[in-house]
């Protein structure tokens, strides 16, 4: 009787078991799920938070605020004409009249890229510096 060495025995054992059944789908599904969760947490949630904050800033826009449009025009809000009477539905379609140098322009509220100097923040800063 011949006793095989451990390496030969392992090779015979692997060969005797035959080919594997092709693996299972579970590890692949787990990897795909992990990638989806990572994209959701690191990309979608921060964008959603930033978009919501920007919309709140635009909804609180008032006369005297310094703004920059998406086209790069810097101006001061002169008048806001609200198109919706119920006060809520889609306030990003409202027309905002701005004054830039000697010109007056009408832009949609949704096309305002950022508010540079909101009037209520300026008043709060003046109160803090006075005390």
**How large is the average pLDDT for residues 5-23?**
58
Task: Kindly indicate the confidence band of residue 13, based on its pLDDT and cuts at 50, 70 and 90.
Answer: low
11-37 CB burial, b ≥16 within 10 A, e <16: eeeeeeeeeeeeeeeeeeeeeeeeeee
Give me the domain span that covers residue 126: 62-130
Query: What per-residue confidence (pLDDT) applies to 52?
Result: 94
Structure tokens at 19: 């080919």
Q: What is the DSSP letter of 42?
A: I
Q: At 126, which CATH number?
A: 2.30.30
43-90, pLDDT tens digit by residue? 999 999 999 999 999 989 999 999 999 999 999 999 998 876 665 556
Candidates 105, 108, 111; CA nearest to 81 is 108
For residue 122, being part of any structural domain is answered with: yes
Domain total in the chain: 1
Tell me if 38 is assigned to some domain: no
Alpha-carbon dihedral 59, 102, 119, 56, rounded to 10 degrees: 20
Residue 21 lies in a domain: no
Q: What is the mean pLDDT of the chain?
A: 81
**Distance between CA atoms of residues 88 and 59, nearest Å:** 9
Note the pLDDT of residue 107: 94
The answer on pLDDT for 111 being more than 70 is yes
More confident residue, 3 or 131: 3
What would the mean pLDDT of 92-102 be, rounded to a whole number? 90
* Residue 71, domain member (yes or no): yes
Confidence of residue 32 (pLDDT cuts 50, 70, 90): very high
Distance from C-alpha of 119 to C-alpha of 128, rounded to nearest angstrom: 15
Residue among 63, 86, 93, 91 nearest 76 (CA):
63
């Amino acid at each position: 009787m011949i006793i095989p060495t451990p390496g030969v025995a392992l090779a015979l054992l692997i060969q005797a078991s035959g080919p594997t059944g092709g693996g299972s789908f579970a590890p692949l599904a787990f990897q795909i799920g992990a990638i989806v969760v990572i994209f959701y947490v690191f990309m979608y949630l921060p964008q959603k938070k930033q978009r919501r904050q920007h919309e709140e800033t635009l909804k609180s826009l008032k006369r005297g605020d310094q703004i920059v449009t998406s086209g790069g025009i810097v101006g001061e809000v002169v008048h806001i004409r609200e198109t919706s009477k119920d006060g809520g539905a889609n306030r990003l379609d409202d027309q905002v009249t701005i004054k830039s140098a000697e010109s007056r322009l009408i832009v949609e509220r949704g096309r305002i890229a950022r508010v540079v100097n909101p009037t209520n923040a300026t008043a709060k800063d003046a109160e803090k510096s006075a005390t």
